[in-house]
Amino acid sequence: MLKEAWTLAIETLSWIEMRKLSERLALAKTVKQLGISDANAVRLAHMISLETIRRRNFIDAFINKTLKPQTINELNLGVQAFLRLYVYQTRIVKNWSQINLEEAENIAKIARSILGWKTLRKVEHVLGLLLTQNPQSVFKGISDEERIGLQTFHPTWFVKYCFKLFGRREAVAFLEGNMQSPPTYIRINTLKTKENEILEKIAQDNIKIEKVEGLKYAYKITGATQPLIRTTSFQEGLFYIQDKASCFAAEVANPKRDMTILDICAAPGAKTTYLAQLMQNRGAIYSIDYSRRRMNVWKNEVAYMGVKIAVPIIADACNPPPLKIEADLAILDPPCTSTGAFGKLPSSKWRLTRRSVDKMAEIQWQMLNSCAECVKPGGTLIYSTCSITVEENEMLIERFLKWHLEFSLAEIEPKMGLPGLRGLEKCRRLYPHMHQCNGFFIAKLIKES
């Protein structure tokens, strides 16, 4: 099992580096590629690869101190992945203090059998040094922003950005909040049966939950004896694994029965299925997404959750929809930098640059303009991201309101999170370190009657 887990983890990290895939997608691709079916091996591989990639900048700085004058990026991807995993397992898991030589030797043997002894021979000499090097050595002669970046596992450019946006004290609290994954939340699915019956079945599956205050159907997982996706209640479609912030966005939209709704960037289906639930499966939802692969997932999720009123449309949301729609409600959750979801998607930290924010904001601007045309007079437009940058959020809304005088900001209910920045107090923001969920922004815009 251990060899299978390490094989999966090494290959997963290699795919993340080579193709810029997310952790989950890279692992799924690797499991399929290698044909590994051992659930325990997959679980262990997911855990060690996720926690290793979360700390990648610190681990690389630590390894580079030992490799000098060589750097880890000069090695092939398999060796890079192994060294990162090796440091995580032999040092970080042990809190840098206890050294288990037997475990380290066993891991090295496993790596030789996976990568080949000739491949690993180039770095064999550093394995022992990595067990004894002081981790504090990475902090010598660096700036405050670099130090905070290494301590909280964030790129230096992002630390500087947060310092400027929030001030140093609040920025550090936010960055520290990103160091761990947020809690897992579920949304119970009343399209299948009554709420009290679902709660009974969830209890029978030994899932312990806690109601999220202010939201209708969201619950926090406080305990489970097995993976949620293996439980009977999940397999019967009685609940959907969905972040609290995402549930909040659907409830802010406040969809009603018999409405016509445009759901833009709809895949993989969390929004669509919740909107249909709140509409009691009455009305019409036109769900648009550019990715055929993601829309295939959407189709499965929609059918699985018992949604009957959603129509899939594969189209580029930067352009007007390929059909004439006058929507009572349009919801845009565009691609974003995911800077509010680094706790859940740590690999995204290392793909971004400062320029990524501006590039993404321009794509979001095109989408926002396109969907605004489809909102009928008196209708509502919801805009949300899991980013904390002002360029993708408040600045975009300010620009939109200047160009579209027929729209105005509306108060958001239910009241969760904090007011928006730059004086846009009707918008709302959620932060990982304060609200135990993904960082999130939401704006509600009303079109004049």
The token duo for 30 is 């690797």
Q: 118 to each of 112, 115, 121, 122, how far by Cα in Å? A: 8, 8, 5, 7
Question: In this predicted structure, what is the pLDDT of residue 449?
Answer: 85
CB contact at 8 A, 240 and 187 = yes
Q: 402, 381, 383: which is closest to 446 by C-alpha?
A: 381
Here the tokens at position 436 are: 């135990």
Q: How many residues does the chain have?
A: 449
Pull the structure tokens for residue 25: 């997608």
Copy the structure tokens of residue 253: 């939209």
Q: Is 71 helix (H, G, I), strand (E, B) or coil?
A: coil
Distance CA 307, CA 266 (A): 14
Instruction: Annotate 345-365 with DSSP letters as a single string.
Output: -TTHHHH--HHHHHHHHHHHH
- What are the catalytic residues? 386
Q: Which CATH fold would you assign to the domain 246-447?
A: Rossmann fold (3.40.50)
Amino acid residing at 84: R
Contacts of range 171-176, beta carbons closer than 8 Å, 24 or more positions apart: 172/148, 173/433, 174/388, 174/431, 174/432, 174/433, 174/439, 175/148, 176/152, 176/433
Helices in 76-123 by DSSP H: which ranges?
77-87, 101-115, 117-121
Using alpha carbons, select from 435, 31, 438 the residue that is nearest to residue 212. 435
3-state secondary structure of 218: strand
pLDDT, mean of each 10-residue run, the chain (449 residues): 94 94 91 90 95 98 94 96 98 92 95 93 92 95 97 98 98 95 96 97 97 97 95 97 97 97 96 98 97 95 97 94 91 97 95 97 97 96 98 98 98 96 98 97 96
Both tokens assigned to 232: 């009977």
Q: Which CATH class is domain 2-139?
A: mainly alpha
Looking at the chain, the domain(s) classified CATH 3.40.50.150 span: 246-447
Which three-class secondary structure state does DSSP give residue 221? strand
**All CATH 1.10.940.10 domain ranges in the chain, comma separated:** 2-139
Tokens of 286: 């036109």
Please provide the DSSP assignment of 168-182 as one string: HHHHHHHHHHTTSPP
For residue 122, what pLDDT is reported? 87
Q: Where in the chain is the domain with CATH 3.30.70.1170?
A: 185-241
Residue with tokens 């029965």: 257
Angle at 120 between CA 111 and CA 346, to 5 degrees: 60
Specify the 3-state DSSP secondary structure of 438. Answer: coil
DSSP 212: P
Overall pTM > 0.75: yes
Please name the CATH architecture into which domain 185-241 falls.
2-Layer Sandwich (3.30)
CB atoms within 10 A of CB 174: 23
Which CA distances in Å does 250 have to 89, 243, 287, 327, 372?
40, 11, 14, 16, 18
Angle at alpha carbon of residue 180, lines to 437 and 220, rounded to 5°: 40
